[in-house]
Amino acid sequence: FEGSWGAMRAAERGHILLRLAELMRSHADELAELECRDAGKPIAGVLRQDVPAAIDTLTYYAGWADKIHGDVVPTRGDALTYTIREPVGVVAAIVPWNFPLMIGMWKLAPALACGCTVVMKPAELTSLSALRIGELALEAGLPPGVLNIVPGPGRTVGEALVNHPDVDKVTFTGSPGVGRGILRGAAGNFKRVSLELGGKSANVIFDDADLDAATKAAAAGIFFNAGQVCSAGSRVLVQERVYD
């Protein structure tokens, strides 16, 4: 974090991230096959959603790299009061197994665009796409040490990152139980924490709905990605007249 990445012009960081996005685009079939074989996903869905979404995310945040500004605050005539925004430091990104490439990029792209460095722990079951992104990042011009991919079990790698005094922020997607443990571990040195934890999402179908569309959407909502989605439609509430 204290090396060349933090001192680099924001526009140059953005250019490097755009180069990485182009490399991902040119290796899209390879990334899709890695994700498919590693996570057991149908390749059509990976090509339609996971890979394009990861590239779009990176492109979007690359454009933000030189547009993160402070503010001048009008307090009184004889004082200049202003705010600046600085990178938070070293970010530990702990990624789940259901959308390794896409969720991984949701964490990597904004952190890198802001000038942070990242240690990413992919799920131990699905680490291949993250490792390939690490290789492509070096090819794109990211200085060594800016993006670090560390596979391994959460109880060893994840716990070490959460407790490490040089990690400034933890971002985690996964179960509420693990999220609670991360909050406890981060409290020791007041790490910043972002958590996306499991939820319960309801589909609500009224009697004036397009029932063909509603039933297809309800089925897709629970069976897409084998139901392993943070926003899976795990409950269906149907008005009594159209319940059958």
Contacts 24+ apart (CB under 8 A), 133-138: 133/20, 133/24, 133/31, 133/101, 133/104, 133/105, 133/108, 136/20, 136/23, 136/24, 136/27, 137/20
Residue with the two structure tokens 């040490």:
145
Please give the backbone phi and psi of residue 147, each rounded to the nearest 5 degrees, phi first.
Answer: -120, 120
Q: Choosing from 35, 135, 230, 240, which is the catalytic residue?
A: 230
Residue 23 token pair: 């490399």
Q: Are the beta carbons of 104 and 95 closer than 8 angstroms?
A: yes
Residue 230: active-site member: yes
Q: Rounded to an integer, what distance in angstroms lies between the CA atom of residue 103 and that of residue 44?
A: 18
Q: Choosing from 33, 114, 196, 240, which is the catalytic residue?
A: 196
Q: Which residues contact 208 (CB under 8 A, 6 or more apart)?
A: none
CA distances to 66, 73, 91, 92, 93 from 85, in Å: 12, 14, 16, 20, 21
List 172's β-bridge partners, or say none.
94, 195
Closest to 88 in 3D by CA, of 2, 168, 25: 168
Residue 196: active-site member: yes
Say which DSSP state 143 is in. P
* Active site positions, annotated: 196, 230
